[in-house]
Amino acid sequence: MPIIKSAIERAKTNVKANERNSAQLSTMRTAVKRFEQAKTAGADNAEELFRLASAAVDKAASKGLIKRNKASRDKSRMAARLAK
């Protein structure tokens, strides 16, 4: 455990940031999985789910949770799957 006051405060901040980042990543992954499942099942709302998943991927990339290249790759794969 840290002894210095600034280190204690930083540890608290890190815990909060970790929770926030984990929640954001989970939201992104869930959105992508929902799109994949809808496309596999042949659901009618696949285009709407694609838009939601694409927005979630963009948001995660803008927050620095995933790299921009991964975001582009994921969106490209989803778009190709939607067009299929």
pLDDT per residue as tens digits for the range 22-37: 999 999 999 999 999 9
**3-state secondary structure string across the chain:** CCCCHHHHHHHHHHHHHHHHHHHHHHHHHHHHHHHHHHHHHCCCCHHHHHHHHHHHHHHHHHCCCCCHHHHHHHHHHHHHHHHC
Q: What does pTM read for this prediction?
A: 0.88
Looking at the 3D structure of the chain, how many domains does it have?
A: 1
- In tens, the pLDDT along 35-44 reads 999 999 999 9
Range of the domain at 65: 3-81
Residue 46, pLDDT > 90, answer yes
Q: What pLDDT does residue 84 have?
A: 86
Q: What pLDDT does residue 1 have?
A: 84
CATH at 13 = 1.20.58.110
For range 8-29, the mean pLDDT: 97
